[in-house]
């Protein structure tokens, strides 16, 4: 099962769909999720914002140096209007949820609690 999850994650990471997000879109998502991680009062909303923050910062980590990332986050943070934050966060959380669902579908059903573990073949 873990192999199918890893394979699905690799396929998702290597696939370049037509609607792939740009660096700028990922920066906007990182800024919005960081804002809601600090400002959201609902624990569930805070948890979603935290997951989104990690997800989008992880996406940016592979495409920008630390200096570029810091500069992009500061620049976007200065230009984003407060009214933009909620719609941006909604769109970013939706994209994150779609990625999670795609991975869950490709990984197959989760084992039931108490079910015996499938032995993993040993490498030769």
Sequence-distant (≥ 6) Cβ neighbours of residue 99 within 8 angstroms = 12, 55
Q: What is the mean pLDDT of residues 99-111?
A: 82
Q: What is the mean pLDDT of residues 61-84?
A: 94
Q: How confident is the model at residue 124 (pLDDT cuts 50, 70, 90)?
A: low
Q: How far is CA 94 from the centre of its chain?
A: 10
Q: What is the mean pLDDT of residues 12-36?
A: 78
DSSP code at position 76: H
For the cut 90, the answer to whether the pLDDT of residue 118 exceeds it is no
For the cut 80, the answer to whether the pLDDT of residue 6 exceeds it is no
What does residue 74 show for φ and ψ, rounded to 5 degrees? Answer: -65, -45
């Amino acid at each position: 099962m873990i192999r199918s999850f890893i394979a699905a994650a690799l396929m998702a990471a290597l696939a370049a769909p037509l609607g792939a997000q740009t660096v700028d879109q990922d920066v906007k998502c990182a800024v919005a999720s960081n804002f809601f991680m600090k400002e959201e009062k609902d624990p569930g909303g805070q948890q979603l914002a935290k997951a989104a923050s990690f997800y989008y910062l992880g996406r940016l980590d592979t495409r920008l140096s630390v200096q570029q990332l810091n500069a992009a986050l500061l620049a976007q943070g200065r230009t984003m209007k407060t009214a933009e934050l909620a719609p941006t966060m909604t769109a970013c959380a939706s994209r994150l949820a779609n990625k999670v669902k795609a991975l869950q579908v490709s990984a197959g059903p989760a084992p039931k609690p108490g079910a015996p573990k499938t032995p993993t073949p040993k490498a030769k």
